[in-house]
Structures are given as C-alpha cells and as structure tokens.
C-alpha cells in the first residue's frame, strides 16, 4: 500500500515539477507558479509517508501557502509578460551541467558506500510534540528573539515601500 502511494505521489511530484519549468501548453509565469504549488502538495504527501507529519504540515502551510502566495503577488505586481525564449548562456549551461553531475556523483557515492542497515528501521525523531516542547522550553529565548526580528522586518518593509506623503 505504502509503496503504491509513494509511486503515485512521486510521479505526480515529478510531473508537476516538470510542468513548472517546461510547460508545453503555456509559458505564463503564473501557470508555472501554480504548478510549483502542486509540486509542494505532492511533496507533503511524501513526507506523510515518512511519518514526518510536522514537516508535511509546514510544507503545506508555509511553502504552498505563504511563500507561493508571495511569489504570485510578486509575479502579478511586476506584471511579467509571457517569458520569451532566452538565448543559451554558455557559462550558465556549463555551470548547470557541472552542478548536476557533481550532485549526482556525491549522491551515488553516498548510496554505494552506505551499508544496508540490519534489523528494524530506526524510529524517526522530531515529532510535533517534541519539537514544540523544545521550542518553548529549551529554546524559548531565541524563539522570542526571532519574533522580534520578524517584527522589525515587517516594519522595515512597510516603511521602505510606503510612498513619502510630502
């Protein structure tokens, strides 16, 4: 059952990811952004399969919700036209190919070197309960500090984007 679900989620995540960057039907940035939201939702499903419920919830709330709405706002505010076909930048292509090959190499090396674990799979740490207890007990001071950082950032954005009244 789980492996079937995994295949479904993974296939849809990959498909939506592909549609984000290489949509054959539309070149509108808004369509790309919406497909990115769908990719995030399918990824959240994958996290649920891993029993990482907190990350799954955050994935939907923060990425699919807040971040993508922000993306859409920026895209609509900037009023981007349909993306024109870009010319290939030789340095960009070389850097892209290099990064992909390097990342694949590191991943393959890690998988090949790893010893298959014997016995039962280890229990995943980081349940929502443990995380909340840690944030509000051990790390209360930096947590509250972050809230002030966010407040300052918000004040700053409003101030700097506001038009001078005089």
Partner 1 sequence: MNLTLLGPELVLVLGGLALLLVDLAVPAARRHLLGYATAGGVALLCLYFVANHGAGGAAARAFGGMFVLDGVASFFKAIFLLSGVVVLLLAADSSPRLGGGITEYYALVLFALAGMCLAASANDFSVMYVALELITVTFYVLTSFERSRAASLEAGVKYLILGALSSGFLVYGIALAFGASGTMSFDELAKHSPELASNRLFQLGVLMIFGGLSFKIAVFPFQVWAPDVYEGAPVPTTAFLAIGSKAAGVVLLVRLFGFAVPDLALHWEPLWMTVAGVSILYGSLCAIPQRGLRRLLGYSSIANGGFVMVALSTMSKAGSAAVLFYLAGYLFTVLAAFLVVGVLVHRVGKDDFSVLAGLHHRSPLLAAVLAASMISLAGVPPLAGFFGKFVVLRAVVEQGAASHAYFWLAAVAIVGVVISFWYYFGVIRAMYWGGDAPDLTPIPISPTLRGAMILCLGGILCLGVFPSAIWEAAVAAVAGLGI
Which residues contact partner 1 (rule: CB under 8 A)?
A: 138-142, 145-146, 148-149, 151-153, 155-156, 159-160, 162, 164-166
CB of 157 to partner 1, least distance (A): 9
CB of 134 to partner 1, least distance (A): 11
Kindly tell me which of 78 and 160 has the beta carbon lying closer to partner 1. Answer: 160
Kindly tell me which of 26 and 138 has the beta carbon lying closer to partner 1. Answer: 138
CB of 116 to partner 1, least distance (A): 24
CB of 15 to partner 1, least distance (A): 33
CA distance 63 to 68: 6
Kindly tell me which of 87 and 165 has the beta carbon lying closer to partner 1. Answer: 165
CA distance 70 to 121: 39
């Amino acid at each position: 059952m789980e492996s079937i679900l995994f295949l479904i989620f993974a296939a849809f995540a990959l498909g939506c990811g592909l549609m984000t960057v290489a949509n054959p039907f539309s070149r509108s940035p808004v369509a790309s952004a919406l497909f990115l939201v769908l990719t995030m939702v399918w990824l959240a499903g994958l996290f649920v399969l891993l029993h990482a419920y907190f990350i799954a919830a955050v994935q939907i709330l923060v990425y699919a919700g807040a971040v993508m709405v922000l993306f859409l706002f920026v895209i609509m505010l900037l009023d981007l036209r349909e993306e024109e076909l870009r010319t290939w930048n030789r340095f960009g292509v070389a850097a892209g190919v290099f990064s992909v090959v390097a990342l694949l190499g590191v991943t393959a090396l890690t998988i090949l070197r790893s010893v298959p674990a014997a016995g039962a799979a280890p229990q995943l740490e980081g349940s929502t309960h443990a995380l909340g207890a840690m944030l509000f007990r051990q790390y209360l001071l930096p947590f509250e500090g972050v809230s002030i950082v966010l407040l300052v950032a918000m004040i700053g954005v409003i101030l700097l984007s506001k038009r001078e009244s005089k």
